[in-house]
Structure 1
Amino acid sequence: MGISIADILSLTWKSLHSNPVRSGLTTLGVFMGVAAISATLNIADITNAQIEAKLAERDKPYLTPYIIGEEGFAVGDDLNKEDEIALKRSIAIVRSTSSVSSIYGFSSVQYEDNEVKNVRTYGVSENYISTTGRTIIQGRFFKTVDFEQYRPVAVIDRKLATTLFREQSPLNRAIFLASTRLTVIGVVETKSIGQEFGDTSGLLWLPSTFASALAGNFQFSTLQISPYRLEQMPQLKEKVKQVLLKRHPKMVVETFDNTADLLKERELQKSATQALAVVGVVALLISGVGIANITIASVLERIEEIGIRRALGATQFEIMVQFILEAILLSFVGGTLAIISVHGLTQTATTVIIQAPYQFSLRNAALSMGAAIAVGVGSSFLPAVKATKIDIIAALRSD
């Protein structure tokens, strides 16, 4: 006659309850290991959320290459359309490229009697929005015809639009960049390039063809090269240098990127999570040793009980299940307490001590609990199998 599930659970509880010190120490080991793993996952999520929030505040990751001549000057204009094409063809991780010209001597914008100074003016190519990932709030961005016909049209960011037009719609309004009359055709969101040099009252963009005709030699042209993912930036940087050095062998190639600080943060976060993960794994392994010891001790102490239960009809599988169930129960209790404790501490830390984005993650909880259960089952499996091999007659004769 087999043993019911209720009887197995009752026997399991009695076995653990009969030795509270050993059970408590094992549960504590599981608690420490799961707490370390749960904290590691939470820290990784918080850091990633912070990095994503910072990325959302600036242009999509991109780098700008410069070639430096023998005189030591950065020569951006020497990177021509052929260089841009070569980069796109040679580097598979290039998501988008665009050309950007910084226009000098045009930093004052006027609408009627309202003048705004310290405005940055750029001439850009048609795919600038694709490269930077900026969102168009009103109107449109430049079209091919704007470049072909050298149209005096402008796109401004929200910051400049708010300052210049206040409550009015800026679309189709005439503004003056120095003495040049422009028509506003679009407004895009205001973002940071990531490592901005000084403050600005807003940004204004012109079609690159019109900007070149307007500024003449008072401009500095560069390429913006965007990868598919932030993590690809170091690889992209190396490949860009390789391609350009082949095309300009007598030059030195340097790069600027708008995400160097975020990559550094991610590396620091990775080092911290790896250290915590090691602590968690060690704690779980220690708890696994404790679970194995408690299971072996339980088997040795209950040889006679095992023999009696086998004689009454308990199967080998039922005997094995009881010992594994004891380990699972200890792992579940320790893991649950650890997850609840870490969640409470993390929530308190991210609201009282530091302001950081945090939400309870079922995925993280499942991973942490899964690790605890896996250690419990793995550690108790061999001792539990050994319990099923006990000879019934010898067990009944034991003192």
Structure 2
Amino acid sequence: MGSELIYRGHEAQPTLDAYSSKPPKPWLAVTRPIRYVLREKRLVFVLVGIAIATLVFSLLSAHHGNNNHYQIPDLRDSRFLSESTQLTHRGIHSGFVSFHPGGKMPLGLKRKGLRIVVTGGAGFVGSHLVDRLIARGDSVIVVDNFFTGRKENVMHHFGNPNFELIRHDVVEPLLLEVDQIYHLACPASPVHYKFNPVKTIKTNVVGTLNMLGLAKRVGARFLLTSTSEVYGDPLQHPQVETYWGNVNPIGVRSCYDEGKRTAETLTMDYHRGANVEVEGLMRLMEGEHVGPFNLGNPGEFTMLELAQVVQETIDPNAKIEFRPNTEDDPHKRKPDITKAKDLLGWEPKVPLRKGLPLMVSDFRQRIFGDHKAEGASTATSLV
């Protein structure tokens, strides 16, 4: 079968000539390794790859010497940060988790689009965040169960290959491969979270635990949007990030307050136990800072002043009704944003009287589908 018989055991051994030594060939010590390398093509590819990588990193190092600072894009014009967070005196108490130390891009490298999941991305703040991330060139997966979010808020991204929408409840585990996680999912209005308090606290605790587990498994950065409700009815004014709060753990609002406090506890436990880096919103996700940040409006005004601005904006003929305050509602709250100003360079830019009409216009466009609805009739009673 193609083989050739050379020798049988019973045949006579062929006679061999007497051994004579060959002249030495000193160049074999050099040529033999070269011939071996050329025969082993895979080894050639490895060596060429190492040479190219060495050259590239040498060029990058030289480039770094001339460019000492990587400029992070200025995100202070973010609409959901500048407009929506300062419509009331309540701030957003935020924290981040990351499995990648630092969080900045290697110097000299162009930023690549990231794969990002936004839970609660069909809500008001979440949908504006999605708009910014898509505009920045990232691939975004929105996860929302539409309890308070609306599909219409993100429909304008349908057909974009960088956008995905998943109807899913974060109380159930989710398997995805992502680089960053913005965890915004949870009812944020007392009307909504008091409707189903058990579901609210499960979303805060179990949902956060699931998202932290996902971040740990895939090595993704994690951002938790908490709430100034963790300060309760504060005894300290204004409130800094280290203030522990004055909260009623068994009140009608506690499903939200204590749920968010537990979510912050879980976040910090993952930071300490799993060496996760905790970092405020898009700017913090790109930074190196650890711990909670207050993002909100330190300007104070009464509920009557707020109602009067709403009246002027929506319908000057609307009547303002006075009703008893809800149980456990804080009497006074003012976020101290010194840390965000010093470390992030962030502060609110849009005043209430300018921001509220923008928000109303946005709501009308989303609800009615066009700007003509701005002239639509409104309720004649403001509570």
Larger RCO: 1 or 2 (CA < 8 Å, sep 6+) = 1
TM-score bracket for the superposition, by shorter chain length: under 0.3
Please tell me whether Structure 1 or Structure 2 has the larger radius of gyration of its CA atoms: 1
Q: TM-score, normalised by structure 2?
A: 0.19
Would you tell me which structure has more strand in proportion to its own residues? Answer: 1
